[in-house]
Structure 1
Amino acid sequence: MKRRNRFVMDVLIGDTVVACHCPVTGRIGDLVFDGVPCLISTTNDPRRNTAFTVEAISIDTDRQWIGIHQGRANDFVAYCLNTDALPVFPYSKHVEREQVIGTSRLDFKVDGVYMEVKAPLTELFVTPLPRFERRAVTRPIETDRLIRHLETLIATLPATKRAVLLYVFLYDAPVFTGNPNRKQDARIRQLIRDAITNGLEIWQVNGELSREGIRLIRCVETTNHFK
């Protein structure tokens, strides 16, 4: 029914409006959250202030669920790595998560190669149904944290000769090529272009989310789209 703040969404369950955890602190497209269908999960964690988490929303003509829980994206990638389902690392043997390098933390280290996972949500690459209101489009702002992680990932290249930036969409998104309207876009693109010559690879994973879980749709290399 409403996004109360960065951390809480009000969801109508039956006849009761319930406060649910919002797993995304940033923007979710330019949506006004009013009557947007969603999937929620439950938790019994006594440390939580809310018993539910909003996992996905549905706004397009295909009525597909769009996963908004970025933590699930990392869990999904870990599962796919452990089952050899991703061609980016088709036969991974040693998978480590949350690798601290300097003042940053990269998501994965796979057989000695570092990989950072990003699940973009400031833009939703679907066409919303007319009944869903959208705010005036504003320029997405890339945080210092994102750029710091990218620079940290690139800094591993002299030693490893390979690094991976993996974009994950928990819906069937088109090939992601960045956003020319975002602030600091030129700096980010130049960082990526320079690093590609030294071994940086860009990949994209699309997953289909349902009440039962997440299914891999495809995993493709998109490095050429960033050159």
Structure 2
Amino acid sequence: MYRFALDLQEGIILKRRNRFVMDVLIGDTVVACHCPVTGRIGDLVFDGVPCLISTTNDPRRNTAFTVEAISIDADRQWIGIHQGRANDFVAYCLDTDALPVFPYSKYVEREQVIGTSRLDFKVDGVYMEVKAPLTELFVTPLPRFERRAVTRPIETERLIRHLETLIATLPATKRAVLLYVFLYDAPVFTGNPNRKQDARIRQLIRDAITNGLEIWQVNGELSREGIRLIRCVETTNHFK
């Protein structure tokens, strides 16, 4: 298990003040917490949503707290929302040879600059980009959680840029990996038809698969103590 430096604390999100800050009730105190997702998290209105938060003593931070996970379904499973944490979890799994996508990795490098972009990992010479989709949550929220109507498409320019960068490495490496990470037990992810330029993204992936692009999915179970790997499966055939 990937373990947090300190056990997470449980709280209640009272509101999302802006893209970067959530007001969270911890015990009897309301604290400002960093929100690690600048975009939409499902179609939720954050009013009374249970959460887990981490703490830090970093003096450079505006707040000592970060919202790491939320819970909205009857099973009360935690949904991790921290992209950086997802990358750290992947790094841990690579170091412990827990991922069949790279079962015996020897040389793991992070944050690889390619042109004007960067990719999350380079593993034994093969580039891998990690994505943790959160604009759609694959759970059934309890009725008490308010949801807003989704009227605008999901912006995907950053995804396209990273995907094109990843694909551009194929002529030299003959293999590249797009890894979708869900810090909860999500079904097989095959994309989101509501996103802007979805057809273009799907075509980019289909064309690249013939040249060596692989799609994999990792599901993890998040608790107050850490993250446990549930499964890692190849999903390339779902994108053909």
Question: Does TM, normalized by the shorter one, top 0.5?
Answer: yes
User: 139-148 vs 92-101, which deviates more?
Assistant: 139-148
Q: Residues 172 and 217 of structure 1 are in contact (CA less than 8 Å); yes or no, is this contact kept in structure 2?
A: yes
Q: Distance in 2 between matches of 1:65 and 1:152?
A: 32
Q: Residues 122 and 140 of structure 1 are in contact (CA less than 8 Å); yes or no, is this contact kept in structure 2?
A: no
Q: Distance in 2 between matches of 1:220 and 1:139?
A: 32
1:41 Cα offset (Å): 0.7
For each residue in 1:44-75, what CA deviation from the matched residue of structure 2 results, as whole angstroms up to 9, or x when unmatched?
A: 01011111110000001110000001100000
Report the equivalent of 1:114: 127
SS of the counterpart of 2:181? strand
Q: Distance in 1 between matches of 2:135 and 2:56?
A: 26
1:139 Cα offset (Å): 4.3
Q: Distance in 2 between matches of 1:226 and 1:138?
A: 26
User: 131-140 vs 172-181, which deviates more?
Assistant: 131-140
RMSD over equivalenced CA pairs, Å: 0.8
SS of the counterpart of 2:49? coil
Using the size of structure 2 for normalisation, the TM-score is: 0.93
| Mapping 1:16-31, distance limit 5 Å | 16-31=29-44
Q: Distance in 1 between matches of 2:90 and 2:53?
A: 21
SS of the counterpart of 1:139? coil
Higher RCO structure, 1 or 2 (CA under 8 Å, sep 6+): 2
Report the equivalent of 1:103: 116
CA gap 1:83/1:140 in 2 versus in 1, 3 angstroms? farther
Q: Distance in 2 between matches of 1:174 and 1:163?
A: 23
Whether 1:135 and 2:148 are equivalent positions in the alignment is yes
1:92 Cα offset (Å): 0.4
Q: Distance in 2 between matches of 1:28 and 1:122?
A: 5
User: 107-116 vs 11-20, which deviates more?
Assistant: 11-20
SS of the counterpart of 1:6? coil
Q: Distance in 2 between matches of 1:202 and 1:220?
A: 9
Q: Residues 156 and 197 of structure 2 are in contact (CA less than 8 Å); yes or no, is this contact kept in structure 1?
A: no
For each residue in 1:20-51, what CA deviation from the matched residue of structure 2 results, as whole angstroms up to 9, or x when unmatched?
A: 11011111000000000000111101011111
Q: Distance in 2 between matches of 1:105 and 1:196?
A: 21
1:138 Cα offset (Å): 3.2
1:210 Cα offset (Å): 0.1
1:179 Cα offset (Å): 0.8
SS of the counterpart of 1:37? strand
Q: Residues 114 and 153 of structure 1 are in contact (CA less than 8 Å); yes or no, is this contact kept in structure 2?
A: yes
For each residue in 1:116-170, what CA deviation from the matched residue of structure 2 results, as whole angstroms up to 9, or x when unmatched?
A: 0000001111000000000002344233221110000000001100000000000
Report the equivalent of 1:196: 209
1:222 Cα offset (Å): 0.2
1:14 Cα offset (Å): 1.3
CA gap 1:185/1:175 in 2 versus in 1, 3 angstroms? same
1:197 Cα offset (Å): 0.4
Q: Distance in 1 between matches of 2:238 and 2:147?
A: 29
Using the size of structure 1 for normalisation, the TM-score is: 0.98
Q: Residues 156 and 195 of structure 2 are in contact (CA less than 8 Å); yes or no, is this contact kept in structure 1?
A: no
Query: 5+ residue gaps in structure 2?
Result: 1-13
1:13 Cα offset (Å): 1.0
Q: Residues 30 and 137 of structure 1 are in contact (CA less than 8 Å); yes or no, is this contact kept in structure 2?
A: yes
Q: Distance in 1 between matches of 2:165 and 2:207?
A: 14
Q: Distance in 2 between matches of 1:142 and 1:53?
A: 24
Q: Residues 156 and 196 of structure 2 are in contact (CA less than 8 Å); yes or no, is this contact kept in structure 1?
A: no
Q: Distance in 2 between matches of 1:129 and 1:14?
A: 23
Report % sequence identity.
98
| Mapping 1:51-90, distance limit 5 Å | 51-90=64-103
Whether 1:225 and 2:233 are equivalent positions in the alignment is no
